[in-house]
């Protein structure tokens, strides 16, 4: 297990404390739980959704084209 030190505004700390208490967790456990919930729900897709993505040939082609453009520096940040 690793220790992580972070700085947050007092208002954010109070929100963490209030929600953690409501869930009967300590603050560090709440932050770990909330982070894992966020990462697993918003950053990953289930098998069915991934199958749909991989079957979309136009999407895959556009993603590959975009990746090649990014690698070669053919992009503009707006």
What digits encode the pLDDT tens for the residues 36-73? Answer: 988 877 777 888 989 999 999 999 999 999 999 999 99
Tell me the average pLDDT of the chain: 91
**Which class is 1-44 in CATH?**
mainly alpha
Q: State residue 14's pLDDT score.
A: 96
Q: Taking a C-beta distance cutoff of 8 angstroms, is the pair 48, 42 a contact?
A: no
Number of residues written out for the chain: 78
Tokens of 30: 């709440």
């Amino acid at each position: 297990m690793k220790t992580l030190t972070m700085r947050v505004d007092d208002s954010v700390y109070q929100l963490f404390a209030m929600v953690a208490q409501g869930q009967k967790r300590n603050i560090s456990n709440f932050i770990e739980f909330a982070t894992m919930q966020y990462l697993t729900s918003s950053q990953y897709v289930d098998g069915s959704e991934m199958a749909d993505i991989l079957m979309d040939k136009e999407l895959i082609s556009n993603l590959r084209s975009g990746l090649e453009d990014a690698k070669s520096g053919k992009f503009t940040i707006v």
